[in-house]
Each structure stands twice: as structure tokens, then as C-alpha cells.
Structure 1
Amino acid sequence: MKKLVVLSGAGMSAESGLKTFRDADGLWEGHDVMEVASIEGWQQNPALVLDFYNQRRRQLLTAQPNIGHQLLADLEQHFDVSIVTQNVDDLHERAGSQKVIHLHGQLLESKSSIDGDLIYPCHQDIELGQTCESGSQLRPNIVWFGEMVPMLEPAAKLVAQADILVIIGTSMQVYPAASLANFAPVDTPIYYIDPKPAINETVQQLTNLVVIAETASQGLASLKEKLLEI
């Protein structure tokens, strides 16, 4: 089976009612991104950061996978599909996708604020004073600005093996995730699905690129027919 690698961003989950990473005004749910999604923000106001992610987690637990998620899961009948997502939700998995790498962590997990290897399932709020087995404060298992992206290397290796690369719902502006497409072999066809596709320097450097200016669900529905003809 051909290897199909998908790079998905916030637009993938927008149709499920989850807000994209940042709105046009640079705010995320009314907050400056650096206040709630950086290691500095955590150090300055952990209560605010916990409350922010507690709200995101509650919202996620009421959301459902959309048609786009389901279409990607269905493609596993025809391709060896691997998904590399910037999203911290579990909607790909709930739709049935079997191989998913989360570059920026997972909202339904908590971890020790001292030992990053201590990770726990988390479907409830995290409160100040809640600690891991080593006694340190629990925090969301999210990769914040200012932190390393531990899954970047395995993600790059996947992209380097891709027979087909599909990019969905991302601004191609958040690094290092945006650089992953550059690891694709030069002869690999690349499909970029986004209702407002970014045609920046990163995108312009990609060869064999086809831009589909549609939502994730719409773009994947039309792309599926093309892929099955390859």
C-alpha cells in the first residue's frame, strides 16, 4: 500500500466546533496566546493556564469528529495512512485513525511539571495543588511556546517516506511544524486543503503542490476520488 501522510492543523477540527488556534486579532478565546500557551505564561500565572485548558478540555469532551476526520479514517482501507497533527484533541482517533502523532501534546493527558515522562490520562479539570506521584504540580500535556517538540523527529521521518502528502487546515506559519512538508521527497505529490490557504515562502518552496481552497470535509471528499485513481 502507498504511504499517505497527513499534516493536520486547527482547521481540521474547526468543523467540530473547536476554535482555531488564534483568531484574526491574535487572541485565543480572548487571551493573548503567550499568556496561556507558553512556558513563561505558565510560570507567571499557572491558575490562568489551568483554567484555560480546563475549559478547552470540557469543550473537547462535547465535540464529535467531523466528516473530514471520518474520511481520513476511511482512507486506511486504501492507503497506509499516518497522521501528524498540530491539534491537541483526540478527534482523529475517535474517528478511527490508527496512526496519529501529536506534535503539540494531548489535551486529554496531564503530566508532571518537573518530570515530562510522568504522563496520565486526564478527562477532568486540573487544579492547583494537584500533584504527580513525585509531588510536583500537574499541568496539561501540551507543548507550549518555548518548549522542545519531542515528536518532531519521528514526524519528519514519516514525511520523508511519504508517497502522498496531504496538508489540511494549517496556516503553515507555526514552526517547527510548518517545516515538516520540506522533508517530503521531491517527486511526492502534495495536496494543501484550506479555505484560506497561506501562500507564503514555505508553501512556495514546495514542489508538486496542488492547492484545494475548501474546508477539510469538502476538500477531502473531492481529494478522495482523485487519490483512489492514483
Structure 2
Amino acid sequence: MGEQRRPHLVVFTGAGISAESGIQTFRASDGLWADHPVEEVATPEAWRRDPERVLRFYDQRRDQVRRARPNAAHKALALLEQRGFAVSIVTQNIDDLHERAGSRHVLHLHGEILKARSSVDPRMHYPLPSGGIRLGDRCDKGSQLRPDVVWFGESVPHFPDACEVVAQADLLLVVGTSLAVMPAASLLGHAPLKAPCVLVDPEAQTLAPPGVACLRAPAGKGVPALVQHWTREGRLWLPETLLGGA
């Protein structure tokens, strides 16, 4: 009980960090995801209409994730935790690159592609260490298995948990997200008023809300640069030599 609480870094990551590992991202500008219209592969209606097509699409995405490797940003965040910092990651990404890099406290807002879940009971999850999901693969309640992914039009069940994590932040680091996808984009509003926030993104100065410091850099360069400063000093702080636009 007498142990002093370690400063808590909460990291909110989006598609930009995974894109640097070669994972194709959803592109809001043209409504396509891996060359597929979203409404055909990533909605409950698509699942009801053509489940085999949806399963085939996610099998392809799963293969892409398995081939990808954690990049310098993933590894830097894991290193920070290994150096004794308290690090929690809330991610919009459905891949497991944070975990493979060594991060131990990762909350996936939109699900995990390397898991299946029951179509009737979202609490029933099944790991997919290899292969994919086929029609006829069923949960213990006899229901068809589906990807453990939050589709467009579905609720985000882990959002309240993410709000609780962000509310405990001493510093909030946002990496590779446009802050445009709701409800995830509203997470920043749950951070303590005293907690600084920095956005790392090539378009940071355009995307950052008022009061958010900017590091205009890709994740693979910006995150390791910040981690280097923090590990050298042994504390969380905003290095003014790197940042702009607060």
C-alpha cells in the first residue's frame, strides 16, 4: 500500500501504426477496405446476406496479419513497459502486433481478428492460432462462429472499459489515428484535465484538437523518439524540442 504509484502512460493507437507494418487499412475517402465495399463485408447485413463471402474476406485479412511484423513503434512501446513504466494501450486495430511486440496491457476496442466468437453469445471467444472460420464451424451453443470483430453499425462493447483506462492517464499518447471514428474519437474527453496529450501522425498539426501537442512524424519514427526521451529521463514529459502546436 505504501508503494508510490508509477506515472501511467495510456496509448491510443489507430490504423496508422499498423499500416507501417504493411497491414491494409480501411480508407474512409473511397469507402473501400482491401478493395471491398464496406457494406459487403463489414456489416451485420452483409453477414446475414452472404456469410461465406464475409468469412472469406476475413480469412484474407487474417493471413495478412499473420505475415505482418511489429514495427519500431510497437517495439518502442513494449520497451517502455519493460523499463518499468506503466503502459496501457487502447487500440482500434484488430491485429495482434502490440502483443507480439511484448506489450501486456492491450484493450482492443474493435475486436481481434485472430479470434472467432459465437453469433449468439458475444462472450464466447475462440482463438484462431491457424486457419480461419468456415460455414458449419459452431460455438458450444451450436451457433455459427463469426469473426471477433466489431462491424459498422454494431455497438463497441469495450468502450466503457477504454474510458476507464483513459481516465487513469498521467499522459495520453495518440498514434496513427484521424480521431474521426466514433465513439473512439471521444475517448480524449475522458482523460484527466491535468494529463497532457500528444498526437503522433504525419498529419498531426491538421488532425490535433485544441490543446493537444503535435509530433508530425510517422509512428515508426515519432514513437521511438518519445520513448528515448522518457527512458533517458525516467519520467513522462513533453520534450519541447520534438513537439509543436499545443
Q: Do both share a fold (TM > 0.5)?
A: yes
Match of 1:101 among 98, 107, 120: 107
AA at the equivalent of 1:167: V
Give TM-score scaled by structure 1 length.
0.93
Q: Please list every run of at least 4 consecutive aligned residues from structure 1 whose deviation after the TM superposition is greater than 6 angstroms.
A: none
AA at the equivalent of 1:109: K
Match of 2:20 among 2, 15, 20: 15
AA at the equivalent of 2:46: G
Structure 2: runs of 5 or more not aligned: 1-5, 238-246
Name the counterpart of 2:163: 156
AA at the equivalent of 1:227: W
Q: Distance in 2 between matches of 1:70 and 1:138?
A: 32
Q: Distance in 2 between matches of 1:170 and 1:98?
A: 21
Q: Distance in 1 between matches of 2:150 and 2:16?
A: 19
Task: Report if aligned partners of 1:172, 1:198 keep a CA contact under 8 Å in 2.
Answer: no
Match of 1:225 among 224, 228, 238: 228
Q: Distance in 1 between matches of 2:24 and 2:204?
A: 17
Task: Report if aligned partners of 2:10, 2:169 keep a CA contact under 8 Å in 1.
Answer: yes
Task: Report if aligned partners of 1:171, 1:198 keep a CA contact under 8 Å in 2.
Answer: no
Please tell me whether Structure 1 or Structure 2 has the larger radius of gyration of its CA atoms. Answer: 2
The residue matched to 2:21 in structure 1 has which SS? coil
Name the counterpart of 1:216: 219
- 1:141 matches 2:148: yes
Percent sequence identity is 50
Match of 2:35 among 26, 30, 33: 30
Deviates more, 1:179-188 or 1:96-105: 179-188
RMSD: 1.5
Alpha carbons of structure 1 residues 175 and 23: separation in structure 2 relative to 1, 3 Å:
closer
Structure 1: runs of 5 or more not aligned: none
Q: Distance in 2 between matches of 1:37 and 1:119?
A: 19
Deviation at 1:23, TM superposition (A): 6.0
Name the counterpart of 2:120: 114
